[in-house]
Structure 1
Amino acid sequence: MLVASLCCIDASAQGDKKSSEILEAMSARYQKIKSFKAVFTYKPTGEKPLKGEATVKGTKFRLKMAGQEIFNDGKLMATYIKETNEVNLQDFDPTQTGDLDPTKIYSAYKKGFKYKYLQEKKEGAKTLDVVELTSTNKNSQVDKVQIEVEKATRAISSWKIFQKNGQQVTYKVDQFQPDVKVADSYFAFNTKDYPGVEVVDLR
């Protein structure tokens, strides 16, 4: 989930014209947003749906899901595990965050994927365009991603990740607040806020 600079896409090489236009418009929409907060529901196949929350500001993010809270201030990434009151510290490597980086959802398609337009569908009063991204990276754990984009606003409604091991996870955006005011300190883990926390420094 990166609000990165919009780059030119060779539609003939990456995908059909319609899917390219949809993805470019979606990316352009989020590129204009300096920060955001999103509440989402995620559901692994065969399991109960769970809630998550992501706050993003540039390359900084704070993500709450699956009993963990990930703090990333752009330099240091801290993963706090509530159940054990433990935090793991490591240098932030933007190439290693995978599915758990909410700053990448809007630009992930630009590298390592080919894409095609699947269908138009109705969901309540909304009309959604469905685009499928197929991984071209043999080393990736992801096989494909299906993204549903609102036709009227070009906002992401949901995305479904199909992994090569057969697992599937669906993420649905429940609330989205653009341009939220948030201090940089919000993205840094502070041990004072977590009494008795065990710090595991992996750097």
Structure 2
Amino acid sequence: MLAVLTVFILNPFDSNAQGDKKSSEILNAMSTKYQKIKSFKALFTYITKGEKPLKGEATVKGSKFRLKMAGQEIFNDGKLMATYIKETNEVNLQDFDPAASGDLDPTKIYTAYKKGFKSAFVKEKQEAGKALEVVELTSTNKNSQVNKVQIEVNKADKSIASWKIFQKNGQEVTYKVDQFVADVNVADNFFAFNAKQYPGVEVVDLR
């Protein structure tokens, strides 16, 4: 699985990245759009092939994020990452390492294409009265678990409508953005886990 949602510290499309002209233009426009956003809240649906759709929610502010999905809630205040597991009322604490956060960091989907992928424009399609541009990213990293990613971008405003991840083991996961609110007003303490709000929680400190 790739990162779940967006990033705002974005650079123009990497000149070393591989891709045809049209896909590069689409990805650049998408990156430019999200670069201007300082914070956001997003609701999304994710579907693993063969399973029922599930709902997720993410709030991001700079390097801070709070992500709720798959029975877990992840708090990241930029320094400490806390993963709360509702079923067991347990929270795991660990130092946040941006380089090692991988799938748990919802601030990378919009820069995932910059390294380790070759992009190509696939087609334009109509869905719910909107024109969507489909771009396919094929992994160039032999060690990656991801084979390719298909991203659907709204042609009118260059926002991401959905993306589908094809893993080398045959698993497919689709993420669809249901609601996106830019520049939300959210306090920094919203991203820090507060044990007082979870009575009886078991704290596992992995630092």
Pick the TM interval, shorter chain: over 0.9
Q: Deviations over 1:122-172 (max 9, x none)?
A: 001100000011112222221111100000000000001111111110000
Match of 1:87 among 71, 75, 91: 91
Note if contact 1:133-1:145 (Cα within 8 Å) is conserved in structure 2: yes
In the alignment, does 2:45 pair up with 1:5? no
Note if contact 1:15-1:114 (Cα within 8 Å) is conserved in structure 2: yes
Inter-partner Cα distance in structure 2 for 1:126 and 1:99: 30
Point out 4+ residue stretches in structure 1 off by more than 6 angstroms.
none
TM-score by length of 1: 0.96
Q: Secondary structure at the match of 2:30?
A: helix
Which ranges in structure 1 are unaligned for 5 or more consecutive residues?
Answer: none
Note if contact 1:71-1:79 (Cα within 8 Å) is conserved in structure 2: yes
Note if contact 1:4-1:107 (Cα within 8 Å) is conserved in structure 2: no
Residue 159 of structure 1 corresponds to 163
Match of 1:120 among 121, 124, 128: 124
Residue 139 of structure 1 corresponds to 143
Inter-partner Cα distance in structure 1 for 2:10 and 2:54: 32
1:74 is matched by which residue type in structure 2? G
- RMSD value over aligned CA atoms? 1.2
Aligned sequence identity (%):
77
Inter-partner Cα distance in structure 2 for 1:105 and 1:175: 17
TM-score by length of 2: 0.94
Q: Report the alpha carbon displacement of residue 9 of structure 1 after superposing the two structures with TM.
A: 2.6
Matched residue pairs, number? 202
Residue 97 of structure 1 corresponds to 101
Which ranges in structure 2 are unaligned for 5 or more consecutive residues?
Answer: none
Q: Secondary structure at the match of 2:190?
A: helix
